[in-house]
Structure 1
Amino acid sequence: MAQTRTAPTGTAAGKTPGRRSPGDRILLGATRHSAARTAALALLAVAATGATLLLPAVLGHTLDLLLARRGAEATRWVLLCTGLVCVPAALDALDEVLSGTTAARTTAWLRHRLLGHVLAAGPRATARFAPGDLVTRLVGNAADVGTAPGTLAGSVAAVAGPVGGVVALGLIDPWLAGGFLVGAPLLALLLRAFARVSGDCATEYQRLQGEIAGRLVEAVDGARTIAAAGSAERETARVLAPLPELSRQGHRMWRVQGRAAAQAVTVVPLLQITVLAVAGLRLTQGALSVGDLLAASRYAVLATGVGVLVGHVGALVRARTAAGRVAEVLAEPATAHGYCRLPAGPGTLELRGVRAERGGRTVLRDVDLVVPGGTSLAVVGRSGSGKSVLAALAGRLADPAAGVVALDGVPLRELGHDTLRRAVGYAFARPAPLGGTIGGTIAFGAFDPGPDAVTDAARAACADGFVRRLPLGYATPCEDAPLSGGESQRLGLARAFAHAGRVLILDDATSSLDTLTEHEVTRALHGTTTRTRVVVAHRASTAARADRVAWLADGRLHATGTHEDLWRDPEYRALFGAP
């Protein structure tokens, strides 16, 4: 099976000194997108925290009134205590609903943006990221980022609680706040260590999730090969090979969180005891009342609210790590298009000084080639000679590292997106049925060619016959029409015939056709001079029907000419297994 491709996490998301990292910018963008909802969540959280902070003071004052036997006045304060208990509960319920809808809305926005960027980047994105890893980033990591606005809003309240508790202790008696602040640096160090270690765990955990997903998609895609090779157990072991390390990182995250909780259990009671000891001393000195002592005990609990902070810090760390992985995808540049239109012309295709690279390796170099408008060119060569790369460059599914590809004198880079896609049509060895129905698959493209053009294209591709035998003909859903490899290729050819304006590029698009069908399709292909045709050929018969042949060898244009002229060369004949 193909080796899983996984981009190194952190490369694109690495932080340049003095600048926000790409991941942080993603988090900021997600928060801005839901700014109103985030503000509402923050207000709800702060209001609930405010009520919680008022409650100890009100309870303390109520207790003092009761001890002073001022029952009539105390009744009003008891009712106020009841209200302060109920208000946070109601606000928390609203917060839960709003948090869920905000996370869903933000996740949907980010997934839409991410999917649009992946499709705009085209083959470059799938060349860098394995499909399974890409899906993990788009689905799982985007969902983690989607929780960031709610988590940030909750973090405001999570910080406001301890800060408010310390301020309240200071208002009751400055000595109480001083006693607490002596040990506060220990809590800060605990949170900092937790954030750092849990960040490392989350990064590795999410990377391993993407790797397993990538391997799984490869295995599903190669299910027939695995079954034929009898290697199901070995492939299962390969797919799940990262699982022990994933488990180790997961357990490590739980250990980090457990260690932080254990340390908090040790430190927090000491701080609370310190506050209570100071409060008791001040009570004996007459500086505090019994109600003040009760309030101080409650504020000491609020001031040491490390558990809430640990939860929010953990969620923010996961969201930030996920944002870094999302940022790596968005860092892959999308294809930029110009604004030029094509002048009137026959569809002359030119490659001038073209060099192409894949994975840091030069696969085409110094290619100079002209395909006159309305003619056909067969591209031949051994495996790895650069045929498919040249086909991709000819219609700008990829850009050359150097040189220019032009159509009727206009560089493809300068053409508008719609102009380019209306001018160039493609057919591939394994076309994807993306139109929903069989007819929709043929019509799928930059424009709808109309039902008559769809039918004509299907006839030219020798697909009309088997399509009409389907239960609903052209309206048959793709999932209800299991197709052979040859039938799928004929639909792909029909789609290309229906959309190609000036140039038609076939990249191994007839490899699954039987000889008779291939002959009929090729006759239809070469029976017109209104389109320029570029055909990646593996059969001598296909090359023989082309007007000219471009022979690639070792990434260079070895020779051009007619098939008849090149056939005199033994090396050329060897490409087709002929003596």
Structure 2
Amino acid sequence: MPASPTTPPGPDAAGDRLLLGTLRRSGRWPAVYAGAALAGAVMELLLPGALGHAVDALVVPGGPGDAGQAALVTCAALVAAVVACDALTVLAGGGGRAQAGRWLRTRMVGHLLGAGPGVTRRFPPGDLVARAGAGAEEAAAAPESLIMPVALLVPAAGSLVALALIDPWPAAAFAAGLVAIGVVLRAFLRETTAVAAGYQEAQGDIAARLVDALAGARTIAAAGTEEQEVGRVLAPLPRLRAHGMALWRVNARAGVQAAIVVPLLETAVIAAGGLRLAQGAMSVGELFAAARYAVLGAGVGAALGHLNRLGRARSAARRVAAVLAAPVRAHGTAEAPPGGRGRLEFRGVTVCVDGRPALRDLDLAVPGGTVLAVVGRSGSGKSLLAAAAGRLADPDRGEVLLDGVPLRRLGRSALRGAVGYAFERPVLFGATVGEAITVDRPAGTAGPAARAAAADAFIRRLPRGYDTPLDAAPMSGGERQRIGLARAFAHGDRLLVLDDATSSLDTVTEYQVARALTEELRDRTRLIVAHRAGTAARADLVVWLEDGRMRGLGRHEELWRDPDYRAVFRLDEPAPAGPPPAGAGRDAAVPAVPRHAGGAGPEAG
């Protein structure tokens, strides 16, 4: 049974925790960055005092002397140290961003693939690409953006202490100015985080629309709707521009406020110091040092740029954390019992999509070795049943068992060795055509699986046969489908699931594959999402779905008597009095029934 639900953390908390995770996963670079930044801050903090001593030594009667020369050497050494620290922070910042970005992208891609196809129901693929790309890059800048504002507090606090040691009046003026700068920075960070979230959401929306358009490029070209699609893809541009202008306004307003507050702070400190100099309470060198400390401490206003990046990093981290919150399928450790032939059981299975049941209260027992056809109109739940059969989708209620073992209890390798999937548009991976079939199975399994999928002949015509690199083996849609079928045949030892996996095959090849399914692969259960009456007629058992519920279960010729069942295949002729007509029968070589609408495209149900 699924684990009891727990209250997930809020998006702000999850995003901030992810930022701290990037800090920990950036290796030694954040420590180097922090050390260099703090060392540079300390050197800058020491520099005004050294300059003040140098001024006092230079203005004394009789020339600078040894003390003045030593003060000048000290100042030069401090300046050189500041420059070296700045260079090291640039290097460490770049290294940390690269390592953090690599960790974020690796974690996100691994999580997406581990969460399975269900995550794309919550997030469009294009938006996921934007989050894993630009979003991860912006979030990876968090370590640098977190450390530098803190490092800038060191010279500010040190300047306040140094001014207090020189004279309390300039220190009081400086403290008042720091409070005003802190108010400006706090408001800036809050506003930047909020506005950046809207900007990044608009970017993700454009990316999602573009990916959809690219997936349907042939349809768009055939329909001549390029201009309309350009308008649809770029429809969020006004929203993107509005958020971009808002970001600029926030930056400009904070910049103006800092441009007013910082000079006023410096002027106040110098004015207070001048009055104390006139009273004889400060020397010229101390006034010079106080002025330098005011400039150095007010440099905390330079944190605006770092806080801008931090605000964008926070909003990006929240978007990445929302994806990482999608549950990942946890696998058990059980092995499938020996000797099983793929007995498949659905016990009270309900699967929800967007919070609504799309497959409801399914109770079904399929004997091992059965050819099961799943029939229904588009949206009836066929593909969802096929996904639940091999745990591409977990039930919200109920349990699916394979040879008596709940799928949740099976180990990952045991599950994928027992269940083989073939889809309409298979993705091929591996270095060669042979590896695309075998994946982790022995190389010797490629040939038999390819022959069963009617792929062996065209593979042998390739320049290097099964050893032909995938990128050097251009294939038609039907040939790719046959490779996908061969991969499923090589892996599904107990259960084969075919979801519209023969839609691009010609009738002769489809018949060859159908014969292999019914004759050569009898040692396993075969679940076929059927769009043709001929496919259903060749099955041992047909489950008929309607609106996510099982409306009928039996042999094709039995269900054929129901006109509603015939209407699934869009047959207008009256119900036959006897068995199905020729071409729709169990032994028909070529299906005579046309595919229903939508059968050639992706199955939405």
Offset, 1:70: 4.1
Q: Please, which of 485, 488, 497 is the counterpart of residue 505 of structure 1?
A: 497
- SS of residue matched to 2:368: coil
- Give yes or no for the alignment of 1:548 onto 2:541: yes
1:14 equivalenced with 2:11 (yes/no): yes
With normalisation by structure 1, the TM-score equals 0.94
Structure 1: where are the runs of 5+ without partners? 1-10, 16-20
1:458 aligns with 2:458: no
Correspondence for 1:422: 417
Amino acid at match of 2:361: D
- Cα 1:538–1:12 change in 2 (3 A) is farther
Question: CA shift at 1:123, angstroms?
Answer: 0.7
Q: Which of 127, 137, 141 pairs up with 2:135? A: 141
**Residues 304-319 of structure 1 mapped to structure 2, 5 A cutoff:** 304-319=298-313
Q: CA deviation at 1:467?
A: 1.7
For 1:335 and 1:395, how far apart are their aligned partners in 2?
A: 12
Answering whether residue 222 of structure 2 is matched by residue 259 of structure 1, we say no
In the alignment, which of 57, 70, 75 is matched to residue 76 of structure 1? 70
Could you tell me which of 301, 304, 312 is aligned with 2:295? 301
Could you tell me how far 1:289 is from its partner in structure 2? 0.7
Matches within 5 A, 1:385-464: 385-444=380-439, 448-464=440-456
Could you list the structure 1 runs, at least 4 aligned residues long, displaced by more than 4 angstroms after superposition.
none
Cα deviations by residue, 1:494-546 (Å, 9 ceiling, x for unpaired):
11001111111111111111111111001001113211111111111111111
**Aligned residue among 350, 354, 364 for 2:345:** 350
Deviation at residue 226 of structure 1 after TM alignment? 0.6
Contact 1:549 1:560 in 2 (8 A): yes
1:494 to 486, 498, 512: 486
- 2:591 aligned partner: none
Structure 2 match to 1:37: 29
Q: Cα deviations across residues 94-121 of structure 1 (Å, max 9, x unaligned)?
A: 2211211111111111111111111110
Distance 2:140 2:547 in 1: 48
Is 2:329 the counterpart of 1:332?
no
Q: How big is each residue's C-alpha offset from its partner over 1:149-175, in whole Å with a ceiling of 9 and x where there is no partner?
A: 222222222221222222221121111
> Separation in 2 of the partners of 1:554 and 1:184?
65
**Match for residue 358 of structure 2 among 345, 358, 363:** 363
- Give the root-mean-square deviation of aligned CA atoms: 1.5
- Per-residue CA deviation, residues 193-222 of structure 1 (Å, 9 max, x unaligned), is 211211111111111111111111111111
| Cα deviation 1:349-394 (Å, max 9, x = unaligned) | 0011111211122222121111101111111111111111100011
> Which whole-Å CA distance do the structure 1 matches of 2:423 and 2:28 have between them?
47
Is 1:561 aligned to 2:536, yes or no?
no
Distance in 2 (CA, whole Å) between partners of 1:577 and 1:145 is 52
Aligned equivalent of 2:317: 323
In the alignment, what sits opposite 1:526?
Answer: 518
**SS of equivalent to 1:123:** coil
Distance 1:513 1:360, change over 3 A: same
- 1:304 aligns to what SS in structure 2? helix
**Cα deviation, residue 346, structure 1:** 2.3
Q: Report if aligned partners of 2:347, 2:362 keep a CA contact under 8 Å in 1.
A: yes
Q: Counterparts of 1:407 and 1:262 in 2: how far apart (Å)?
A: 68
What is the aligned partner in structure 2 of residue 8 from structure 1? none
Matches within 5 A, 1:163-182: 163-182=157-176
Per the alignment, residue 594 of structure 2 pairs with none
Q: Name the CA distance, whole Å, in 1 between partners of 2:409 and 2:461.
A: 44
Contact 1:13 1:328 in 2 (8 A): no
| CA distance in 2 between partners of 1:263 and 1:402 (Å) | 57
Amino acid aligned to 2:349: V
* Structure-2 separation of matches of 1:164 and 1:318: 29
SS, match of residue 305 in structure 1: helix
Corresponding residue for residue 54 of structure 1:
46
Q: CA deviation at 1:306?
A: 4.0
Deviates further, 358-367 or 200-209: 358-367
Q: 1:220 & 1:472 partners in 2: Cα distance? A: 32
Q: What secondary structure, in the 3-state scheme, does the structure 1 residue paired with 2:28 have?
A: helix
How far the C-alpha of 1:286 sits from its partner, in A, is 1.3
Paired letter, 2:554 = G
Alignment partner of 1:232 out of 216, 226, 229: 226
Aligned position for 2:581? none
Task: Judge which range, 52-61 or 34-43, deviates more.
Answer: 34-43
Distance 2:431 2:218 in 1: 25
Find out whether 1:379 has 2:371 as its counterpart. no
Retained in 1: the 8 A contact 2:375–2:544?
A: yes
- State how 1:184-203 maps to structure 2 within 5 Å: 184-203=178-197
- Corresponding residue SS for 2:337: coil
SS state at 1:384 partner: coil
CA shift, 1:12, in A, is: 6.9
* 1:536 maps to amino acid: V
What displacement does 1:483 show?
2.2
Identity %: 55
Q: What amino acid sits opposite 2:435 in the alignment? A: G
Q: CA deviation at 1:430?
A: 1.1
Deviation per residue, 1:480-504 (Å, 9 max, x gap): 3332221111111011001111111
Helix, strand or coil at the partner of 1:406:
strand
Shift of 1:414: 1.2
The 1-side partners of 2:494 and 2:112 are apart by: 27
* Unmatched segments (≥5 aa) in structure 2: 1-7, 574-605
Question: Deviations for 1:297-323, whole angstroms, at most 9, x for unmatched residues?
Answer: 111111212442111211111111111
1:452 counterpart letter in structure 2: G
TM-score (norm 2): 0.90
Q: Which residue of 2 is the match for residue 275 of structure 1?
A: 269
Question: Are 1:264 and 1:306, in contact at CA under 8 Å, matched by a contact in 2?
Answer: no
Work out the CA distance in 2 between the residues paired with 1:207 and 1:576.
42
Which secondary structure does the structure 1 equivalent of 2:489 belong to?
helix
SS of the equivalent of 2:329 reads: coil
In the alignment, is the contact (CA less than 8 A) between 2:360 and 2:548 conserved in 1?
yes
Query: Deviation string for 1:398-440 (max 9, x for gaps)?
Result: 0112111101111111111111111111001111122243222
